[in-house]
Structure 1
């Protein structure tokens, strides 16, 4: 007899099939493709991360459900094209987890966390080799958010010794990149500016890694902080009968500093 989880998963798969059914399905869902759905998949993953960051565990089941639906969606489209189905997706990840955890599902001896990490990387390296992906940086998806990919690229390079010794060395490199950007500001060539700003962001991703931080999480935190503080500035302006469009930059900066001071006081 199927478990409750199995029953609900089967229900979800059936709902997806009904949405894509021709005739009788949802016109919007029927016309979607892998390319049009992929951005929604990324968005849903970020909404999961956002719920976790906000510790909103009431919303998290709903967000995880949205993300699961994206997996079901892609699997259904693939099944319609005769490529693979949801069963293949589930089997692939289950087989991979068993393969990458021989100390749990095969070897009788326990392994330390450090040893397991090394074994995990060795297994991933073997899998990349089987897919004919060669080179230290092979297999890092190009579709990752840029900061996340920078983090993974530099972490992979660091495993073979291509790395700064510490965070201070990265900061020195950041100073160098800032100097180069200042020099380019005089000419204001767009391509050169893009190159230099990219270098700065890449170094910042490295700095986050050296400090054992996730650069995407750092930037998400900064985004939330900015949005919160700007909303507070707008509230202070509204209390004086003003809007940002009415206020001077100096006035808004004074309110911004007041908001920061209030946060510190709390």
Structure 2
């Protein structure tokens, strides 16, 4: 007698379902994906630009599309989010199409690969592992990655990530391995300690030249501790800083517009004059 596990039952059922047996919404989704694959095949065969592209040539475009999706998310513009997801989806299909031409892999290999990863990384869903909360799920995830061959918990952090995002991901992964502070008050004490070290080392009142390399190191420590505290209280530092960037841009452009209306340029105005418009911008 063959005994099927919970996972076996689920996958066996899915494998045996025909297209017509799938829910109507799933059929619609699969048809839409099939349409994209068909268009990609046609473009790769017929369009001069698409025929010319390589995995390397698409890389910088994919990065740009990812940042555009990020912008749309921060703005809360869901129609734009939908559009940017489509652009990224196109790129993923494009990479897979190019790889299929050399029999390296195709889109089905990509999708089966991520499916197998998700199944293996969720033994609490597809196996007998029991978890009590989200934190245990994260810890299991990192432990499984090490079993799969990762030499370090931090090995999966991309080297080219922006430093602020990288700091956040490093700390999240370290926490997944159980290396973290116990209380947020401890984290804040570390922030204050780093702030005091920076202030003591580089006296803000003293105008003497400082050791820039050392100052950079100490400032990096301070930023890292602030990122750590933000993570502890569930603030996404990248989102927080980007919203502040956008707020500053909006106010500065208001300042420029007001200066223009008064027949002046910013370089002709005193700081006191600019401050009047700046306070007005904050009220708008």
State the TM-score, normalizing by the size of structure 2: 0.75
1:217 CA drift (Å): 0.8
Within-5 A mapping of 1:25-174: 25-27=47-49, 29-107=50-128, 111-114=131-134, 117-131=135-149, 133-158=150-175, 159-161=177-179, 163=181, 165-174=186-195
Largest Rg, 1 or 2:
2
Q: Deviations over 1:166-204 (max 9, x none)?
A: 223223213323544559984466655544443343333
**Equivalent position of 1:15 in the other structure:** 39
SS in 1 for 2:179: coil
Output the CA distance in 2 between the equivalents of 1:38 and 1:82. 20
Contiguous gaps of at least 5 residues in structure 2: 1-18, 21-26
Q: Flag the 1:112–1:122 CA change in 2: closer, same or farther, 3 A.
A: closer
Q: Conserved in 2, the CA contact under 8 Å of 1:150 and 1:205?
A: yes
Is 1:220 equivalent to 2:242 in the alignment?
yes
Q: Identify which of 220, 225, 247 aligns with 1:198.
A: 220
Output the CA distance in 1 between the equivalents of 2:72 and 2:32. 23
Output the CA distance in 1 between the equivalents of 2:142 and 2:232. 23
Q: Flag the 1:202–1:119 CA change in 2: closer, same or farther, 3 A.
A: closer
How many residue pairs were aligned? 255
**Equivalent position of 2:28 in the other structure:** 4
Q: Flag the 1:174–1:151 CA change in 2: closer, same or farther, 3 A.
A: farther
RMSD value over aligned CA atoms?
Answer: 3.0
Output the CA distance in 1 between the equivalents of 2:59 and 2:203. 38
SS in 2 for 1:49: helix
Within-5 A mapping of 1:183-262: 186-187=208-209, 191-192=213-214, 194-260=216-282, 262=283
Q: Conserved in 1, the CA contact under 8 Å of 2:167 and 2:224?
A: yes
Q: Flag the 1:255–1:4 CA change in 2: closer, same or farther, 3 A.
A: same
